[in-house]
A and B are shown apart, each in its own frame.
Chain A
Amino acid sequence: MINWSRRRTLIAGTAVIALTNAIALLGVAYNRSGEPDSVLQLTQRELHPAYHGWGVHDNSGMALRLDWRLITAERLDINDVTFEYSGYGGAPSWLDKAKLHELGFDLSRLEDTERGHRFYARQLPQPALLVLEYDGAAYQRSLELVRGHAEREEALRIGNPGKKEFEERARHARELLQREEQSNSRLFVIDAGRDAIALRAKYPDRSRYAIVWGRLRLSVSFDKREPKVSAYVSEVEPSEINIPKAQRSAFQDKTGVSTLYPTGSFDVTLAIGKRLEPWIVSASRGAAR
């Protein structure tokens, strides 16, 4: 065995454990010190429960996930206005080649060659700072797109009286509009960058714009059969936001049963600190919406 005395081993082991905990906790204290980088007032529309695969009986913890969205290139196409997988990423229209250059992606290969195509397809996700906008222009744009879609479908229904197909389409469009107005998330990823200070200068309203870490991935899509390099937002950090015990009552009804389900409503004040790590400042049961 190593020629270390028992005392030295005890000191070394204790030091490793104590120092690691101290560094982690000092980081937390620094993140939460002073004025937060941003403070958002969110509801169940923007936060949904994090389901743990191994069951609630083995894990008593509760966590939320940010329900973030994008105005993707597909949604801007009038035929695909409803195409969206909320919280699962997508290629936003603003993430063009100029922005990718600015973010440091290597775009030196030609995308219309087999080698270039292969190069871009093989790229792995890269970390980037993302700007989340809450209930702002992006949400209004999304609302506008869905509303326009509903109006077009309604006009078609009126123009084709008695035709079941158009009645169904109009009904579906009305439901989409209702969801967009009343329950869909209003939190949109609207920009990306490498410098948090520059992004904050561009988006100074700390109650509407939050800067968080996320990941972008290059991909090759086909625009009218022509290969085109694009990028999509694949993840937003943190994947889960822990609900501390002190805030749990906001997510439970009088019997103590969790209301972290689509019918439950709540208001959450979410702060994002100096290290861009979030925490729940306060939470309360919301009025039924």
Chain B
Amino acid sequence: MTPTSRLEAQQRADEIRIFEAELKRLQQDGVVTLTEEQRHTIAQHHAALLAQYAQAFDIDRDVKAKQLSLGMRIASFLGALALAASVFFLFYQFWGLLSTAVQVTVLVAAALGSFLATMWVRSKDATGYFTKLAALVAFACFVLNIAMLGQIFNITPSDKALIPWAALALLLAYTCDLRLLLAAGILCFIAFVSARTGTWSGMYWLYFGQRPENFFPAAIALLLIPHVIDHRRFSGFAPLYRIFGLLTWFFPVLVLANWGELSYLDLDRGIIEGLYQVIGFAGSAAAVWVGIRRHWPDMVNTGVTLFVILLYTKFFDWWWDAMPKYLFFLVLGLTAVLFLVVLKRLRGFGRTADGAPES
């Protein structure tokens, strides 16, 4: 199978390195003996593959290069955020001194120019680090473009602005294979769907965050997207949808489990909080179970984290005042031990479960 992305190529290169190390050990222990010709053929094949991947995707050939890559990833992420903020503040610093026509021209030109620049950088940059930087600046320019048009012409704020923002972020994410832009697109999508859900009840759209249930349709949609659209060619995209889906579902549940008065449900506050506590525990446990069954570590980890957060917040509510502090923390510690035992058993179950991992 030919890798279609840098991440896939890197994964294959890592597997080759592991294979070479293991083969060396097996030969040293006398478990397997290869002829010189066989050894040469394998080595030649792997060298050709690595050279091909290095040329096409600029992969890290060894551990040292990989460590440097991690540093570059962090630098490009921070750089992208800083550059986006710089564009924002640069415009605010001078926009009042420009005529309306110049303001509009600058905004449109910045959005279009930065998008075209991103496409140009992408064609020259095999690593993807500079593309990520350029893409986030292009997205920031477009967000600034539309937000400032609203400010310049006193346009009534609308949630519809989130649609083109999401569209551009997703276009950049899918064409340049950028998870950072995918996250930006997903956030716009969550805000838009939640705002629309909120307006159905008659509220003004900007208040959608004050009714946590508004986020549930977006959460369901995000969890379904990787099932409906095949994401195998996009490394890390399907997990990102699942993680955002789980978080978009869980945080509103966590809020409602503690502040029932924020719910749409016209029930007693205690009943609402109890209901959402049950939904929270059952939902996060179900996420762990599904994650194990489907071999989705992202879902397992997110589910476990959410379950623990919910449990600890409830422990705090129930026992912080009632218990001596040493006992409270002892209970927390024992709960963590119990978790480890359960997860160990689940890990054993996961090993024996049938089926190949799904992306």
Asked whether A238 lies within 8 Å of B154 as measured between CB atoms, the reply is yes
Asked whether B92 lies within 8 Å of A61 as measured between CB atoms, the reply is yes
Query: Looking at the complex, which one of B111, B172, B266 makes contact with A119 (CB distance below 8 Å)?
Result: B266
Query: Looking at the complex, which one of B4, B168, B174 makes contact with A16 (CB distance below 8 Å)?
Result: B168
Asked whether A58 lies within 8 Å of B99 as measured between CB atoms, the reply is no
Asked whether B93 lies within 8 Å of A13 as measured between CB atoms, the reply is no
Asked whether A278 lies within 8 Å of B261 as measured between CB atoms, the reply is no
| Bound form: Cα–Cα A37–B172 in Å | 41
**Given that A118-B261, A215-B204, A237-B156 are contacting pairs, would A245 and B97 also be in contact in the complex, using a CB cutoff of 8 Å?**
yes
A-contacting residues, B240-277, CB 8 Å: 261-262, 266, 269
Query: Looking at the complex, which one of A1, A60, A245 makes contact with B177 (CB distance below 8 Å)?
Result: A1
Q: Is B284 an interface residue (CB 8 A)?
A: no
Contact count band on A: 35 or more
Task: Please give, as numbers and ranges, the residues of chain B lying within 8 Å of A18 by CB-CB distance.
Answer: 112
A-contacting residues, B141-200, CB 8 Å: 142, 145-146, 149-156, 164, 167-168, 171-172, 174-177
Query: Looking at the complex, which one of B119, B153, B177, B202 makes contact with A13 (CB distance below 8 Å)?
Result: B119
Asked whether A13 lies within 8 Å of B99 as measured between CB atoms, the reply is no
Asked whether A1 lies within 8 Å of B266 as measured between CB atoms, the reply is no
Q: Is B98 an interface residue (CB 8 A)?
A: yes
Asked whether A58 lies within 8 Å of B93 as measured between CB atoms, the reply is yes
**Given that A20-B146, A21-B145 are contacting pairs, would A242 and B112 also be in contact in the complex, using a CB cutoff of 8 Å?**
no
Q: Is A151 an interface residue (CB 8 A)?
A: no
B-contacting residues, A10-43, CB 8 Å: 10, 12-14, 16-21, 24-25, 27-28, 31
B-contacting residues, A126-146, CB 8 Å: 126-127
| Bound form: Cα–Cα A127–B206 in Å | 11
Residue of B nearest to A213 (CB): B156
Q: Is B82 an interface residue (CB 8 A)?
A: no
**Given that A9-B171, A16-B168 are contacting pairs, would A245 and B99 also be in contact in the complex, using a CB cutoff of 8 Å?**
yes
Q: Is B211 an interface residue (CB 8 A)?
A: yes
Task: Please give, as numbers and ranges, the residues of chain B lying within 8 Å of A20 by CB-CB distance.
Answer: 142, 145-146, 164
Asked whether A277 lies within 8 Å of B175 as measured between CB atoms, the reply is no
| Bound form: Cα–Cα A14–B142 in Å | 11
Asked whether B155 lies within 8 Å of A28 as measured between CB atoms, the reply is yes
| Bound form: Cα–Cα A16–B177 in Å | 19
Query: Looking at the complex, which one of B5, B94, B154, B266 makes contact with A240 (CB distance below 8 Å)?
Result: B154
Bitwise interface map of A from 199 to 228 toward B, beta carbon under 8 Å scored 1, else 0:
000000000000001010000000000000
Asked whether A13 lies within 8 Å of B104 as measured between CB atoms, the reply is no
**Given that A13-B172, A215-B204, A238-B154 are contacting pairs, would A61 and B96 also be in contact in the complex, using a CB cutoff of 8 Å?**
yes
Asked whether B154 lies within 8 Å of A278 as measured between CB atoms, the reply is yes
Asked whether B154 lies within 8 Å of A16 as measured between CB atoms, the reply is no
Asked whether B99 lies within 8 Å of A246 as measured between CB atoms, the reply is yes
| Bound form: Cα–Cα A87–B95 in Å | 27
Task: Please give, as numbers and ranges, the residues of chain A lying within 8 Å of B315 by CB-CB distance.
Answer: none
Closest chain B CB from A279 CB (angstroms): 6
Query: Looking at the complex, which one of A1, A119, A122 makes contact with B5 (CB distance below 8 Å)?
Result: A1
Closest chain B CB from A58 CB (angstroms): 6
Asked whether B100 lies within 8 Å of A9 as measured between CB atoms, the reply is no
Q: Is B323 an interface residue (CB 8 A)?
A: no
| Bound form: Cα–Cα A19–B4 in Å | 32
Q: Is B123 an interface residue (CB 8 A)?
A: yes
**Given that A16-B164, A17-B168, A59-B96 are contacting pairs, would A242 and B108 also be in contact in the complex, using a CB cutoff of 8 Å?**
no
Task: Please give, as numbers and ranges, the residues of chain A lying within 8 Å of B154 by CB-CB distance.
Answer: 238, 240-242, 277-279
Task: Please give, as numbers and ranges, the residues of chain B lying within 8 Å of A237 by CB-CB distance.
Answer: 156
Closest chain A CB from B212 CB (angstroms): 12
| Bound form: Cα–Cα A277–B177 in Å | 40
Q: Is B340 an interface residue (CB 8 A)?
A: no
Query: Looking at the complex, which one of A60, A61, A246, A277 makes contact with B156 (CB distance below 8 Å)?
Result: A277
Residue of A nearest to B94 (CB): A60
Q: Would you give 28 A-B contacts (Cβ < 8 Å), ordered by A?
A: A1-B4, A1-B5, A1-B174, A6-B123, A12-B171, A13-B168, A16-B164, A19-B164, A20-B142, A21-B111, A25-B149, A27-B155, A28-B153, A60-B94, A61-B96, A62-B96, A115-B266, A124-B201, A127-B204, A213-B156, A237-B156, A240-B151, A240-B154, A245-B96, A245-B100, A246-B100, A248-B96, A279-B153
User: B interface vs A, CB < 8 Å?
Assistant: 4-5, 89, 92-100, 104, 108, 111-112, 115-116, 119, 123, 142, 145-146, 149-156, 164, 167-168, 171-172, 174-177, 201-204, 207, 210-211, 233-234, 261-262, 266, 269
Known contacts A1-B177, A124-B207, A241-B154; 4 further A-B pairs (Cβ under 8 A): A1-B174, A17-B112, A21-B145, A60-B92
4 tightest A-B contacts by CB? A60-B96, A20-B164, A124-B203, A61-B96
